[in-house]
């Protein structure tokens, strides 16, 4: 039997942890309600609420605005709340599957929009697990001792890749951005992270067109290959098992029981998946962050958006488990201790 892998989020030396010190967000103002969707496709408010938990989502209707604008809005809020200048940032990581364009990276566009003249950065593509993977990556920049202020943003303009004639997907997704500032901390921060990918199931949740395999042509557009494709039922089955398993894995590795966990921050794809994960972890409902009713699935933005919504409830030293599952497949769970609050 092979030895268990070492916790990847744990600093290798006695150096600082990477702690979240600020959270910011951007939500478009326009709401797309279940009642609106009833007029667009053959669906009902009752079906959407009972099968997914969603009531409404936000849509970035302005066609001149893109993912980088939402990400820059979230970044700006982080800077203002923390009281620092954009020049103070060392790096910007943007998790997204809806970059403004294939290149330059959205992180470069955000860097320019906020004027972060000293930052480097890059995009990270891991669908709904994007923010979690970016949080691990950003934390390791901090733990290396070479960087002191790393901005990690999850941002997706899902409305740009949703087919609003496909009732199986158009009811699910919304647009948003949210992000966190990571800084060195002697006591609190990211303690552990478990990440997985399984490319064997990539075809169950994907966008088939627009890349180097199927470059955009009239034929790919006619075949609707520029839209998100999902085979919902098998994705649901995998998500329920994988999210609960990976949370159990991170809890076992850190000797945590449900009583030790103060908050679970789950990716918001389906309320039934969230409930199944919380049940397996032995958590009562008040410990589970849920805002899917208001925003739907905002892909890389869901986890930091939850942190933003619950920021006033979180206290210094709280044990927080974050978990996600998404296209790829990609999934993971992270354990951190919260660094600020009453």
Site for ligand UT7 in 309-338 (CB under 6 A): 325-326
DSSP for 14-29, please give it: S-PEEEEEEEEEE--S
What are the tokens at 296? 């739907």
Q: Supply the minimum distance, in Å, between the C-beta of residue 46 and ligand UT7.
A: 9
- According to DSSP, the β-strands at 263-266 and 319-326 are parallel
Q: Supply the minimum distance, in Å, between the C-beta of residue 83 and ligand UT7.
A: 35
Site for ligand UT7 in 49-108 (CB under 6 A): 51-52
3-class secondary structure, 32: strand
- Report the residue from 7, 10, 33, 43 that binds ligand UT7 according to the rule CB under 6 A: 43
Cα gap 89→149, rounded to integer Å: 5
- Given 170, 185, 206, 297, which residue is catalytic? 297
Q: What are the backbone dihedrals phi and psi of residue 164, each rounded to the nearest 5 degrees, phi first?
A: -80, 15
Taking the least distance from each CB to ligand UT7, the nearer of 128 and 180 is: 128
Taking the least distance from each CB to ligand UT7, the nearer of 168 and 291 is: 168
- Given 108, 128, 170, 306, which residue is catalytic? 128
Site for ligand UT7 in 195-234 (CB under 6 A): 232-233
Q: Supply the minimum distance, in Å, between the C-beta of residue 93 and ligand UT7.
A: 20
Site map for ligand UT7, 155-194, x if CB under 6 A?
------------xx--x-----------------------
Q: Are 140 and 93 in contact (CB under 8 A)?
A: no
What are the tokens at 266? 């789950």
- From the list 10-18, 43-51, 76-84, 274-282, the region that binds ligand UT7 by CB under 6 A is 43-51
Q: Supply the minimum distance, in Å, between the C-beta of residue 300 and ligand UT7.
A: 10
Cα gap 82→188, rounded to integer Å: 17
> CA torsion, points 207, 271, 71, 139, in degrees to nearest 10?
-100
Report which secondary-structure segment, H or E, holds 134. helix 130-143
- Does the protein bind ligand UT7 through residue 128 (CB under 6 A)? yes
Q: Are 133 and 330 in contact (CB under 8 A)?
A: yes
> CA torsion, points 162, 164, 169, 173, in degrees to nearest 10?
60
Q: Supply the minimum distance, in Å, between the C-beta of residue 228 and ligand UT7.
A: 10
- Does the protein bind ligand UT7 through residue 241 (CB under 6 A)? no
What are the tokens at 63? 């066609």
Q: Rg of the chain's alpha carbons, rounded to an integer? A: 19
Taking the least distance from each CB to ligand UT7, the nearer of 173 and 188 is: 173
Q: Supply the minimum distance, in Å, between the C-beta of residue 43 and ligand UT7.
A: 3
Q: Does the active-site annotation cover 297?
A: yes
Backbone dihedral region for residue 53 (phi beyond 0: left; psi -120 to 50: alpha; all else: beta): left
Cα gap 45→68, rounded to integer Å: 31
3-class secondary structure, 38: helix
- Does the protein bind ligand UT7 through residue 47 (CB under 6 A)? yes
- Report the residue from 180, 239, 247, 288 that binds ligand UT7 according to the rule CB under 6 A: 239
- Does the protein bind ligand UT7 through residue 292 (CB under 6 A)? no
- Does the protein bind ligand UT7 through residue 270 (CB under 6 A)? yes
Q: Supply the minimum distance, in Å, between the C-beta of residue 130 and ligand UT7.
A: 11
Residues with active-site annotation: 128, 267, 297
Applying CB under 6 A, the residues found at the interface with ligand UT7 are 43, 47, 51-52, 128, 167-168, 171, 232-233, 235-236, 239, 269-270, 273, 297, 325-326
């Amino acid at each position: 039997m092979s030895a268990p892998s070492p916790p990847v989020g744990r600093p290798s030396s006695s150096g600082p942890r990477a702690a979240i010190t600020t959270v910011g967000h951007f939500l478009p103002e326009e709401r797309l309600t279940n009642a609106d969707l009833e007029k667009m496709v053959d669906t009902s408010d009752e079906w959407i609420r009972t099968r997914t938990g969603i009531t409404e989502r936000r849509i970035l209707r302005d066609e001149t605005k893109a993912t980088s604008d939402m990400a820059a809005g979230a970044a700006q809020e982080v800077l203002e709340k923390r009281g620092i200048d954009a020049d103070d940032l060392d790096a910007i990581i943007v998790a997204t599957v809806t970059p403004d364009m294939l290149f330059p990276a959205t992180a470069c566009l955000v860097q320019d929009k906020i004027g972060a003249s000293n930052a480097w950065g890059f995009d990270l593509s891991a669908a709904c697990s994007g923010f979690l993977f970016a949080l691990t990556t950003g934390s390791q920049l901090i733990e290396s001792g070479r960087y002191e202020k790393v901005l990690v943003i999850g941002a997706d303009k899902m409305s740009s890749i949703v087919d609003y004639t496909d009732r199986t997907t158009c009811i699910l997704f919304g647009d948003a951005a949210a992000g966190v500032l990571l800084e060195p901390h002697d006591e609190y921060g990211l303690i552990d992270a478990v990440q997985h990918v399984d490319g064997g199931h990539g075809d169950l949740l994907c966008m088939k067109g627009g890349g180097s395999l199927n470059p955009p042509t009239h034929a790919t557009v006619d075949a609707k290959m520029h839209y998100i494709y999902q085979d919902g039922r098998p994705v649901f089955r995998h998500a329920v098992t994988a999210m609960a398993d990976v949370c159990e894995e991170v809890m076992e590795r850190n000797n945590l029981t449900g009583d030790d966990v103060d908050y679970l921050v789950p990716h918001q794809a389906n309320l039934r998946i969230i409930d199944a994960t919380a049940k397996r972890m032995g958590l009562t409902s008040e410990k589970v962050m849920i805002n899917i009713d208001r925003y739907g699935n905002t892909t890389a933005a869901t986890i930091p958006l939850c942190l933003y919504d619950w920021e006033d409830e979180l206290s210094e030293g709280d044990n927080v488990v974050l978990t996600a599952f998404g296209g790829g497949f990609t999934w993971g769970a992270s354990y951190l201790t919260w660094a600020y609050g009453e």
